[in-house]
Structure 1
Amino acid sequence: MATCTHCSSPLPADASFCPSCASPVTSNASSPAPAVNSPGTLSGLKTELETPDALSQTTQLAAGSEFHNRYSVQRLLGAGAMGMVYLAEDQLTQRQVALKLINPALVNSPSVAQRFLREGLTARDIRHPNVIAMYDVGDDGGQLYLVMEYLPGDTLRDWLHRFIQNHVDVPFATARSIIVKILEGLTAAHQSGVIHRDLKPENIMLLGDPQHDADYQLKILDFGIARAIDTTSNTQLTSSGAATGTPLYMAPEQRTAADTVGPAADLYAVSMIFYELLMGVPATGILGQPAKERGDIPTAVDSILEKGLSSRPRSRFQSTQDYLTALQALDTAAPQKPEPKSDPRPEPKP
């Protein structure tokens, strides 16, 4: 059965829009490709296998083999057009890591390889509890690779999809908590001069359940990668300086002047995620007003989303701190209506 390329829900035979997330059905919505054990994003935890040919140029490692005279390979975690992800042990530190091998087909010039290494080294310096730790980046005989902390959790996409499947709203307090953690992680990156450029639910990792676990953790993945290797949502290479990121979450200016985007582009993507958490569907076309459609959302949230999703970068929040301040002000605003008392817990992922 065909599945939605946005949320992976099954699609009716003649569907024009996904019944779960309302995304338009594209020509890429098709029957699943042959399955590979595929937890993992670009950084290691949720990659989709698009075609076996996409992996033909990537170094394939056997369990028990050694990579770069340092990493002992344990098993394949995931595979996709961007490359392959392995669970490995760093023999210097004895810790488990996610080893990502980049598909050489995406590295079409020495300048791309140099940019990848430069961006990877910059991202490695970002240290924050809400940002995945990058331990190593390098080139092993022409095979570019990344080494990151291994996170055996769910992506925000997986977590949100369970709410959608069960026709349950994400509680406002939970959605705000998630957005605050994302903004706190982005603060550390922006202070280091790094713009993510490809924020989306697939690049947010959750350790624990934000709705029920007060001490849940959130990690942002893939810093610097969208800039290093220009991609679209289908991981097709574009020309240097062209749009980098996933179109649904991409700020308008990224489509025309990708090399000049600033923090406001990431904050546009944050607002897209916030809207989707509250409404259960992406912000496409005419925006809905979550506060008017749900009783548990403060009225000021509609203004926050309208500002965050402005097509003009100068009209958006200009920093993560500005955005956080607006969210904190909700605590002193007029009391919000009570949340539903007994939302069912989403069924656990099989």
Structure 2
Amino acid sequence: MWFYIRRPVDPWLLLFTCLIFALSAVVLHSASNQDADKVLNKIVFMGIAIFGMWVIANISQATLMRIALPGYVAGVIMLILVELVGKTVNGSQRWLNIGITHIQPSELMRIAVPMTLAWFFHHFESTLNWKHFVGAAVLLGIPAVLILKQPDLGTALMISASGFYVLYFAGLSWKLIGLMSAAGGSLVYVVLHWNWCINILHEYQCRRIATMLDPMADPLGAGYHIIQGTIAIGSGGITGKGWLNGTQTHLDFIPERTTDFIFAVYGEEFGLLGNLLLLALYLLVIVRGLMIANSASTLFGRLLAGAIAMTFFTYAFVNMGMVSGILPVVGVPLPLVSYGGTSMVSILAGFGLLMSIQQDRTLIKR
């Protein structure tokens, strides 16, 4: 059977998730100027996401492998439709009208891409060679390029990262990793030169990179987000200014403080000790995910679980990096903490996959 209602969720992963949720509700209450409706909406989405996680956790690993490729194909078709007839919001064409609502297909690919690549390597496990890595790279590149054209650099990077982790855990050669790193370094050199950058990326993306290198060049414009974020985190000190007492937050200096820059609010009010607590919870989630990957019963499970765990790490690292000024602002939310239902549902769907993989291992042992 593809569905087992008797199968429980992973208690440790559920515990760490709920603790992060509790922290997120507390900081959102302050970041939203004590907007009870926003906090309630967040809690409702938490419940929906946890239910979705439980449903996915009860899907057998064999079923996940069967739906991986069809899900990927459907996702790519929707991305093409977005390019042709998609809805444009704030200059980005990312949404697809399906009649009753609008969906963002790129969010579906966060799960579909690593699932498909894990299925691909599992399918060719006995005959794996370098040609299969080339084929996997093509499977990864198609949705990444389509999403980059929307433009949505943040999601394209996250999907590329999740695909890379599958390739890495599948045994990608260190020589190829070195070549890819060299190519990436060359690309960085190119984009640091404005005239070259605008021929590769959108102008606003080039401006974000330039701003990261020198935010004071435009302190009231492009550099404002980074400057205010670093001021807020730095002013929190060791113990923070206290809940609801963040001056940068409540004097409206921090932009997008309930979404992409909520870490600045958290750092200002709870300080270094609060940051270490959040980092510890994130680390526990990542370690638990890697433990599930290590004990998975199939190559599909090992690759998918490892990619999900490391992609969660990438989400946290990129958001904290952009808020603190060491990475460009790319619109990546702080996982499970930022306000917004879509990101939360996609992350907990990944946790549901982890739990499904863990339960398959438990059932086989019995």
| Length-normalised TM-score, structure 2 | 0.22
1 or 2, which has the higher strand percentage? Answer: 1
Per residue, is there more helix in 1 or in 2? 2
**If the length of structure 1 is used for normalisation, what is the TM-score?**
0.23
